[in-house]
Amino acid sequence: MAGAIGAANRGAPDAFADPFLCYHEIAFDRAYAFDRAMLEALGIRRITTRYPGTDRAIEAEGPLLRDVLAAVGATGAKVSAMALDGYAAEIAVDEAARYDIVLALRADGHDLKLGGRGPAWIAFPDDPAFAERGDAAWVWGVFFLRVD
């Protein structure tokens, strides 16, 4: 996670160690890198929600996006979630504060994996506020967050 954050635990991308960051030309001087244990330590929230355009209920588990943002001292107005394939969508930080948006690490009792929707997936609560947003906001394959 990079951008308008107060805490950092790493420096700029390294061409060898950070191939996805470099491939997507993501630049920053400082950032905060979470591993799975660090995300889990923020607390796991389980929500049951419906994927847009389907009647399928999904049980998503992971830290709340607002807790991830708080852990790094985020000060921006929006967070952009980027997937491994380069797709990204923005979420207003004030929305993350008001709603139980989950950075899911598990769905339906299974860890999210590469080649599926992992390593992480933005999952929105089953709330009318998100009904018209569609599936474009449900970024899966999330590996990077930027706060602006």
| CATH code at position 57 | 3.90.420.10
The model's pTM is 0.95
Is the pLDDT at 72 greater than 80? The verdict is yes
Q: Would you state the structure tokens that stand for residue 61, as one six-digit string?
A: 């588990």
Confidence grade of residue 123 (pLDDT, cut at 50, 70, 90): very high
Helices (H) and strands (E) in the chain, counts: 4, 12
Is the pLDDT at 44 greater than 80? The verdict is yes
What's residue 99's pLDDT?
A: 95
What value, to the nearest 5°, has the Cα angle with vertex 72 and ends 9 and 122? 110
Mean of pLDDT values over 80-88:
96
What's residue 135's pLDDT?
A: 83
Mean of pLDDT values over 10-16:
97
Q: Would you state the structure tokens that stand for residue 11, as one six-digit string?
A: 């420096």
Q: Which residue segment(s) compose the domain that 127 sits in? A: 2-147
Q: Would you state the structure tokens that stand for residue 8, as one six-digit string?
A: 């950092």
Domain count, the chain: 1
What's residue 124's pLDDT?
A: 93
What's residue 119's pLDDT?
A: 96
What's residue 84's pLDDT?
A: 95
Which residues have a Cβ under 8 Å from the Cβ of 89 and sit 6 or more positions away? 80, 81, 122, 136, 137, 139
Neighbours of 94 (CB within 10 A): 11
